[in-house]
Amino acid sequence: MTTHPHALTALEQAAAVRKGEVGPVDLVRHHLARVEQFDERFGAFVTRTPEAALAEAAALQAQQPSDSPLFGVPTAVKDLVDTAGVTTTYGSKAFAAHVPDVDAYSVTRMRAAGTVSLGKTNTPEFGCCCYTDNDLVGPARNPWDPELSAGGSSGGAAVAVALGLVPVAHASDGGGSIRIPASVCGLFGLKPSRGRVSSGPAGAEVTGLAVQGPLARSVRDAAALLDVLAGPEAGDPHWAPPLPDGETFLGQAERSPGRLRIGRYAVPAAEGIAVDPACLAAWEHASRLLESLGHVVEDIPTPFGPEISEHFIAAWAVQSLGRDVEPAREALLRPVTRAWREYGRGVSGAQFAAAVTGMQQASRRAVRATAAYDVVLTPTLATLPQAVTHFDESGDPLVNLHRQSAFSAFTSPYNMTGQPAVSLPLYWTEGAGIPVGVQLVGRPADEATLIALSAQVEEAAPWRDRYARLL
């Protein structure tokens, strides 16, 4: 193998394993060395599991490679999701010694596909924030500029992928937590449809906002991991309709999307948010690129009203109470987490029901308003990446929460609707070279079109060479 393994995509690494050019053990060792080299500076991991990873790789190496497209590939699991026998902190000092007895279904599926987890990636406490920082290991720093935040709440996963510590990573998204770090770290992030990936057995379905999905440097890698993760488990409250028999999400990346009708808007539903000119430039750039590929791009009104912010805040505050914390350990929580939970305790049952109903009604209106379009295009964020210190929690939590609003203004509405959405790394700022993502939103349960279109865009305007600066 003439190319360093970390410069290969996940699918290329798995192909090298199948050809006998590299074994899973050497592949894992190589990536563990990358983790050792970069993790302390950039904050990708909360918990590393090198011994377990090497043992698992050795067991795979003793087998014949399976037909899994990701067999032997190193990966990592976000620290919000249980992994049996591995410290799982949910980004909180209150759970610093927590070791689950059972895997999340998503972890079981990843292991069965022959991937090897190198550990648990960094996340803010309980995934409450759009930046990644906690009292266990500190912040996840942007690979393009370590003075900047890597975004959140899947910031550690994004850092790990962007720096080649793993080629593809598990992540989750309750208000933009895959797409936000994808945008600020220059990655392809895919938030699947509600019900596409099981959150069991622990469950996180109080509001239906959160879903697990992939972060990757390539569309095809993300599609391959989605194939691994996708599918309901018995007892799940939401089930997305599966692909037709014999089809895969990876296969969708190989087909033409056809000529699509794409609606676009760049005015956030939330009031008082100004969109950064660089985010608008990225959106215009993507619009022209999509038109050059033969798609019809039309301006549309923002399909959501400002009332969705109030609904989302109430629902998110209640959801922050989903993690049971012993009263004696509440003081270990960070100020913003405590603020969310305090607000959530003040939401009455009637107010919560009204918030959920309001989100559902707004979602129906938005889906109907965009029903004529195959895809909707928006900026991913209304702001550029901010300094790690921008999200300091030593002051008024409301100031911190207000600063987060520009990061989720375009993303969180689609957690409400449950539609699939991706962030594409098509634009970098002049001078500093900071990535700026754009968001594509699909019809309900239509990841297939999003993946086909994203793969077409990646082929027309490849971003792979951008990572040479990091790798």
Q: What is the residue extent of each domain of the chain?
A: 5-469
| pLDDT score recorded for residue 379 | 98
- Tokens 């607000």 -> residue: 343
Report residue 92 as tokens. 């909180």
177 is catalytic: yes
CA 136 vs CA 39, 93, 322, 333, 404: distances in Å: 14, 6, 21, 11, 21
- The closest of 88, 85, 67, 448 to 250, measured between CA atoms, is 448
What number of helices (H) and strands (E) belong to the chain? Answer: 15, 13
Mean pLDDT by 10 residues, the chain (471 residues): 88 97 98 98 98 98 94 98 98 98 98 98 97 98 98 98 98 98 98 97 86 98 98 94 97 98 98 97 98 98 97 95 94 96 97 97 98 98 97 89 93 98 98 97 98 98 96 91
Give tens-digit pLDDT for 196-235.
999 999 876 789 999 999 999 999 999 999 999 999 999 9
Count the Cβ atoms, other than its own, within 10 Å of residue 170.
30
Catalytic residue among 92, 117, 153, 320: 153
| pLDDT at site 123 | 98
What is the per-residue burial (b if ≥16 Cβ within 10 Å, else e) of 268-297?
A: bbbeebebbebbeebbeebbebbeebebeb
Q: What is the pLDDT of residues 340-387, one digit of tens each?
A: 999 999 999 999 999 999 999 999 999 999 999 999 999 999 999 999
pLDDT at position 398 is 85
First to last CA, the chain: 16
> What CA–CA distance (Å, rounded) separates 458 from 48?
32
Contact 137, 46 (CB under 8 A): yes
5-469 CATH choice from 2.40.30.30, 3.90.1300.10, 3.40.462.40, 3.40.50.300: 3.90.1300.10
Report the side by side order of strands in the sheet with 435-442.
168-173, 211-216, 188-191, 421-428, 435-442, 375-379, 261-264, 296-299
Q: Tell me the per-residue pLDDT of 152-186, one tens digit each, with 9 for 90 and over.
A: 999 999 999 999 999 999 999 999 999 999 999 99
pLDDT of residue 205: 74
* Catalytic residue from among 78, 154, 198, 454: 78
Torsion, Cα of 423, 425, 430, 434 (10° steps): 70
Among the listed residues 92, 117, 154, 177, the single catalytic one is 177
